[in-house]
A and B are shown apart, each in its own frame.
Chain A
Amino acid sequence: MRKSYDCVIIGAGISGLTIGYHLCLRGMTDILIAERSYIGSGASGRNIGGVRAQWTRKDNIALAKESIEIFRGLSKEIGYNIWFRQGGYLFLAENEEQVETLRESIAFQNRNGVKTRLIEQSKLNEIVPFLDSSRFLAGAFNPDDGVLLPFPILWGYRDRIIEMGGEIVTMTDVKEIGIRNGRIDSVKTKDGEISTENVVNAAGRWSSRVGELAGVKVPTKPYRHEILVTEPLKPFLDPMVVTLSDGFCMNQSIRGELIGGVSDLKELPSASWSSSIQFAQRMSRRILQLFPSIGGARILRQWAGSYDVSPDNSPILGMVREPEGFYIACGYSGHGLMISPKVGKIMAELIATGRKDPLLSGFTLDRFKEGIAPPKEKLVIG
Chain B
Amino acid sequence: MNEILEAIEMGHTDLESLKRFVGFGTGPCEGKQCIQFVRELLFERGIDPGIGITARPPITPVPLALMSQEESDEEKL
Contacts and interface: CB of A to CB of B under 8 A. Distances in A.
Interface of A: 37-41, 45, 151, 155, 158, 162, 170-171, 230-231, 275, 277-278, 280-282, 284-285, 287-288, 294-303
Contact of A299 (B16, B50, B64, B73): B64
B74 interface: yes
A295 B65 contact: yes
A299 to B, nearest CB: 5
A375 to B, nearest CB: 35
Nearest to A299: B62
B21 interface: yes
Contact of B64 (A41, A275, A288): A288
B61 A299 contact: yes
A299 B72 contact: no
Interface of B: 11, 14, 16-17, 20-21, 26, 28, 30, 50, 54, 56-58, 61-65, 67-68, 70, 72-74
A287 B64 contact: yes
A303 B56 contact: yes
B15 to A, nearest CB: 9
Nearest to B55: A301
A298 B56 contact: no
A288 B66 CA distance: 11
B14 A284 contact: no
Contacts of A297: 63-64
A301 B14 contact: no
Contacts of B56: 275, 301-303
A294 B64 contact: yes
B2 to A, nearest CB: 18
B14 A299 contact: no
A41 B16 contact: yes
A171 B48 CA distance: 12
Contacts, number: 79
A182 B2 CA distance: 52
A23 B67 CA distance: 48
Nearest to B65: A295
Contacts of B68: 281, 284-285, 287-288, 295
Nearest to B26: A301
Contacts of B17: 38-39, 170
A281 B67 contact: yes
B42 to A, nearest CB: 13
A278 B61 contact: no
A355 B48 CA distance: 43
A277 B61 contact: no
A295 B63 contact: yes
A231 B70 CA distance: 20
A171 B13 CA distance: 11
A37 B20 CA distance: 14
Nearest to B56: A301
Nearest to B17: A38
A344 B51 CA distance: 30
A280 B58 contact: yes
Contacts of B65: 284, 288, 295-296
10 contacts: A151-B20, A171-B14, A277-B73, A278-B73, A280-B62, A297-B64, A298-B63, A299-B58, A299-B62, A300-B28
Given A38-B16, A275-B56, A278-B72, A171 B50 contact: yes
A45 B20 contact: yes
Nearest to B71: A281
Given A298-B61, A299-B58, 12 more contacts: A37-B16, A162-B11, A277-B72, A278-B73, A281-B68, A284-B67, A285-B68, A295-B68, A296-B65, A298-B62, A299-B64, A301-B57
